[in-house]
Amino acid sequence: MSGRRTSTLQPKVHVYVQNRNNRSETFIGALDATNLRHFSYTARRQINTNNDLILGYRKCNPLHARTICTWMENNDINDPSPLPLEAVGYITFRDMIDFYATLSCFDLDYKLRYLNRNIRGWILDYIKKEPLTKNEFRSIADDCYDGDLRKEAMKQTILWSWSGTGVPELQNIIAFCKTRGYYREMLALKRRLRSKTDKEKGRHQVLERLIDESEGTTVPHLRKTKSLPDMGLREKQDNRIWVFPAKEV
């Protein structure tokens, strides 16, 4: 038997998306109140006395809202299934951002946010694949309501700018961050990344210096434990041979 806890005693919740003029709404569907409240913090907070849930128009796509409502209505609240990528329809960057923004309007219960891993994972992979354009960066920063996605977009933009590839629209992205108030956050992240890079570079330099200075001496943490026969030799990873005194018999 299904593990869904639905109740015939509870009336349906009518879900609407507010239109741009704020005077009318697009009807999305009538959902089981138990399932809707289980998945959505927004539903718990905003269902009114008429059992209506009205979602704001700005970031909520009615088509995607209908898909998400169907997913909530048909899901098993005891063993819920994640949202599949196929739910988005045409899988493009803009579609994914619109879908993720619409999902954020429902505000998934924090214990259930792993259910969006397919959608969020696709966006993360896209961020890491190649340098973002200014419009792509803006969409992630402004539309997703996800601070970690925004930071990842900043991080990858910084790393691409340090690489040989570069970021063609870097100056436009910086200008956007200044306009939106993200620039200090980006600078702080850049300093942390630079500090981490410098520390790693420093460790490599120390290791190389120890290798250079230790030739012909015993440096336990640099030596292989496997001995070569007959001559008391030990080998190094770069195939050079270090000579050590043979053990006395």
Over the stretch 163-196, which tens digit does the pLDDT of each residue have? 878 899 999 999 999 999 999 999 999 999 988 8
Q: Where are the domains of the chain?
A: 8-129, 136-213
**Neighbouring C-beta atoms of residue 111, cutoff 10 Å:** 7
Question: What pLDDT does 24 receive?
Answer: 74
CATH number of 8-129: 3.30.710
**Chain mean pLDDT for the chain:** 81
Q: Is the pTM for the entire model greater than 0.75? A: no
Over the stretch 188-200, which tens digit does the pLDDT of each residue have? 999 999 888 766 6
Residue 6's pLDDT band, with cuts at 50, 70 and 90, is very low
> Which DSSP category does 90 fall into?
S
Residue closest to 71 by CA, chosen among 123, 118, 1: 118
Distance separating alpha carbons of residues 231 and 218, to the nearest angstrom: 16
Strand partners, 235: 241
Strand partners, 31: 13
Handedness of CA 28, 29, 35, 38 (dihedral sign): positive
Residue closest to 38 by CA, chosen among 1, 86, 84, 71: 71
